[in-house]
Amino acid sequence: MSQLKSSASERTSIHDMLKETPSNENRSSNVVAAVETKPACPYSRSVPTGLSACTSSPAILTPTAPTQNDDATIMKTSSRIENLKNWSISTYKCTKQLMFEKLGKSSRTVDTELEAQIEQLRETQRKYSNILRLSRALTSHFYHVVQTQHALGEAFSELAQKSPELQEEFLYNSETQRNLTKNGETLLGALNFFTSSVNTLCNKTIEDTLQSVRQYEAARIEYDAYRTDLESLMPKADGTVDFDEAQKSFEMHRQNFMKLRTEVTIKMKFLDENRIKVMHKQLLLFHNAISAYFSGNQVALEATLKQFNIKVKTPNSAFPSWLEQ
């Protein structure tokens, strides 16, 4: 009887357990809920249809559109290529024009009056360069003369102390050489000022105008090259694309040529006025300083330097310290 009771109790407990077990629908809903509670998918790959997708915002793996920097780089490269193309065409036409001019196969635009002034300016620069070279040589030689006079005066002064029998004569000569050295240093200041002014006029002021002249001559060649190109297209019918482009290029270079010609004319006019003014002052300084020195007129020599506001720096004086500068 005890065995029958235990088997009946076991059946009852198993039956109760089966009742407590959830149905298939409940188990599937629990599985889906468990899937949905998983952490967000860290990847951004697309999920096939029918599978649950990640709830988090996915990373973008699709190709990105070109940024503004890429567009600017492309435009800059295209601009450089276009500039190189235009430069190559212009260089070819100008070289062809120059060769044809030398061979006598092409005409050139000539401004007789302006070209005569340009040639005169170049000749003036050559002559002033020669004056500059000679004045530098004079200054250099005279500097060594002053140094020699200074050394000679020191030697006379030293011998005056060691030779009592000739002390008076040595002192006279020593004092003379010292005075000559002092006046020579004053004249050196005037010569250096003259050389510096001529150098500025020759290698900066005139050279600046000649630089504009070179730009004008290059513009003249470009103008003639595009003029010849336009004339070669004249027999063809008007209104073609090549003829319109050639006419636009010709007009642009013609305006540039006329602008530079006007600029050169104005610069040469002002340069001539400035040259006369500067050289008048410098030649007066040179004449007065040389005359005063070789006539022994120390007062006139110093007055000349004061007149032109020239400060004399003696070659034998020590350089000022950085506190004094």
pLDDT, tens digit (0-9, with 9 covering 90-100), for 275-299: 999 999 999 999 999 999 999 888 9
pLDDT value at residue 293? 93
Cα 104–108–112 angle (5° rounding)? 120
Closest CA to 98 of 214, 281, 216, 228: 228
Q: How far apart are CA 245 and CA 240, in angstroms?
A: 9
Q: How far apart are CA 29 and CA 49, in angstroms?
A: 20
pLDDT value at residue 206? 95
CB 312 within 8 A of CB 304: no
pLDDT value at residue 113? 93
Token reading at 56: 């988090």
Cα 173–177–183 angle (5° rounding)? 145
CATH number of the domain to which 302 belongs: 1.20.1270.60
Considering the domain boundaries, does residue 262 fall inside one?
Answer: yes
In the 3-class helix/strand/coil scheme, how is the chain assigned residue by residue?
CHHHHHHHHHHHHHHHHHHHCCCHHHHHHHHHHHHHCCCCCCCCCCCCCCCCCCCCCCCCCCCCCCCHHHHHHHHHHHHHHHHHHHHHHHHHHHHHHHHHHHHCCCCCCCCHHHHHHHHHHHHHHHHHHHHHHHHHHHHHHHHHHHHHHHHHHHHHHHHHHHCHHHHHHHHHHHHHHHHHHHHHHHHHHHHHHHHHHHHHHHHHHHHHHHHHHHHHHHHHHHHHHHHHHHHHHCCCCCCCHHHHHHHHHHHHHHHHHHHHHHHHHHHHHHHHHHHHHHHHHHHHHHHHHHHHHHCCCHHHHHHHHHHCCCCCCCCCCCCCCCCCC
Considering the domain boundaries, does residue 41 fall inside one?
Answer: no
pLDDT value at residue 171? 92
pLDDT value at residue 321? 41
Cα 314–319–321 angle (5° rounding)? 145
Q: To 10 degrees, what angle do helices 167-200 and 241-294 make?
A: 160
Considering the domain boundaries, does residue 54 fall inside one?
Answer: no
pLDDT value at residue 275? 94
Considering the domain boundaries, does residue 186 fall inside one?
Answer: yes
Considering the domain boundaries, does residue 14 fall inside one?
Answer: no
Task: Write out residues in the chain with pLDDT < 50, as ranges.
Answer: 1-12, 18, 24-63, 316-325
pLDDT in tens, 231-242: 877 766 555 667
pLDDT value at residue 234? 73
Closest CA to 40 of 28, 56, 25: 56
Buried b (16+ CB within 10 A) or exposed e, 83-118: eeeeeeebeebbeebeebbeeeebeeeeeeeeeebb
Is the pTM higher than 0.75? The answer reads no
Considering the domain boundaries, does residue 274 fall inside one?
Answer: yes
Number of compact structural domains in the chain: 1
Considering the domain boundaries, does residue 87 fall inside one?
Answer: no
Considering the domain boundaries, does residue 218 fall inside one?
Answer: yes
Residue type at position 192: N
Can you give the residue range of the structural domain that contains 258? 111-307
Cα 12–15–20 angle (5° rounding)? 125
Q: How far apart are CA 151 and CA 134, in angstroms?
A: 26
